[in-house]
């Protein structure tokens, strides 16, 4: 099944949604601003992410941008309607948390620029596939601002403190290959290859056991701030959840029968 926004209204929609079976693609659609997001666009993105989170038929989410760019961050020309900056930033934090805590794999497909909150949006995803044409910057210092949308937490955990400071304080642009070397990009693909690669990657994830993948994602996200003992205790609880599903027995049977398992995400215990 394939669901799309009304094509006649697409030009006016800041976020476009496309469903192909279990794959939900969320496309940032402000190409005239390199997909820099104003309040309406952020709100639409948040709504799309929450809908994907709550839809059991969606197993994988891909976030990408229209017009050859991923996202130039927050639109600095946006009118916030007199809202206090702290209140606005706390509202933005809810969006960042929705991305990071999504109980389904989230792939960032990056072409062109990913800067500021736009780069941190990608870093909050589970996997990042970048085109060789992509360029990245923690551009905040050039705008007289400090890191936001989770950058202060994500960067140091991915690249270490010194590289995080280098990226934040100098606000230099890095290309896709350097980003991959630093661990900020998972794969780099040629422009003509990226669509097919992401489609294949999304299918592999969609074919996996949804509850077990959600458990592993949460364990890894939470493990960075835990002791080894706490991580082991959480693994034990998560494995107990997995054993209450239909997927683990299906995988065991398939292993014995030398067949491929079909994962449904159903529960064996009610």
CATH of the domain at 107: 3.90.226.10
Q: Are residues 46 and 175 in the same domain?
A: yes
In a domain, 191, yes or no: yes
In a domain, 269, yes or no: no
Q: Are residues 64 and 178 in the same domain?
A: yes
Give the domain range for residue 33: 2-206
Q: Are residues 245 and 163 in the same domain?
A: no
Query: 133: which DSSP letter?
Result: T
Q: Are residues 251 and 202 in the same domain?
A: no
In a domain, 264, yes or no: no
Helices 247-257, 210-223: crossing angle, 10 deg rounding: 110
> Is pLDDT above 70 for 228?
yes
- Torsion sign (Cα): 116, 122, 125, 128: negative
In a domain, 6, yes or no: yes
In a domain, 265, yes or no: no
pLDDT in tens, 190-220: 999 999 999 999 999 999 999 999 999 999 9
**Count of domains forming the chain:** 2
Both tokens assigned to 217: 């994602």
- Torsion sign (Cα): 216, 190, 24, 71: positive
> Is pLDDT above 80 for 62?
yes
What is the pLDDT, as a whole number, of residue 3?
Answer: 41
Task: With cut-offs at 50, 70 and 90, classify the pLDDT of residue 11.
Answer: confident
Domain endpoint, select from 206, 221, 241:
206
In a domain, 67, yes or no: yes
pLDDT in tens, 99-128: 999 999 999 999 999 999 999 999 999 999
> Is pLDDT above 80 for 258?
yes
Nearest to 107 by CA among 132, 127, 121, 124: 127
Put simply, whether the predicted model's pTM sits higher than 0.85 gets the answer yes
Nearest to 75 by CA among 16, 115, 106, 133: 115
What is the pLDDT, as a whole number, of residue 9?
Answer: 52
> Is pLDDT above 90 for 39?
yes
What is the pLDDT, as a whole number, of residue 83?
Answer: 84
């Amino acid at each position: 099944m394939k669901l799309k926004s009304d094509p006649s209204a697409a030009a006016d929609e800041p976020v476009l949604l496309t469903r192909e079976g279990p794959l939900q693609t969320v496309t940032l659609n402000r190409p005239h601003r390199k997909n820099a997001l104003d309040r309406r666009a952020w709100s639409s993105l948040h709504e799309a992410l929450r809908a994907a989170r709550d839809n059991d038929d969606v197993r994988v989410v891909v976030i990408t941008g229209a017009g050859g760019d991923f996202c130039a961050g927050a639109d600095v020309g946006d009118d916030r309607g007199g809202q206090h900056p702290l209140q606005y930033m706390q509202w933005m934090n809810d969006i960042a948390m929705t991305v990071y805590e999504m109980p389904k794999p989230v792939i960032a497909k990056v072409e062109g620029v990913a800067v500021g909150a736009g780069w941190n949006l990608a870093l909050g995803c589970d996997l990042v596939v970048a085109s060789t044409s992509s360029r990245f910057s923690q551009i905040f210092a050039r705008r007289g601002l400090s890191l936001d949308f989770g950058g202060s937490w994500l960067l140091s955990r991915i690249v270490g403190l010194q590289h995080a400071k280098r990226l934040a304080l100098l606000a230099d642009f890095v290309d896709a290959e350097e980003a991959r070397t630093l661990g900020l990009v998972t794969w780099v693909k040629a422009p003509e290859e990226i669509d097919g690669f992401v489609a294949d990657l999304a299918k592999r994830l969609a074919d996996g056991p949804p509850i077990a993948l959600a458990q592993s994602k949460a364990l890894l996200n939470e493990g960075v701030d835990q002791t080894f003992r706490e991580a082991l205790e959480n693994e034990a609880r998560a494995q107990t959840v997995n054993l209450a599903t239909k997927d683990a027995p299906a995988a065991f049977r398939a292993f014995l029968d030398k067949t491929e398992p079909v994962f449904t995400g159903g529960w064996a215990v009610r």
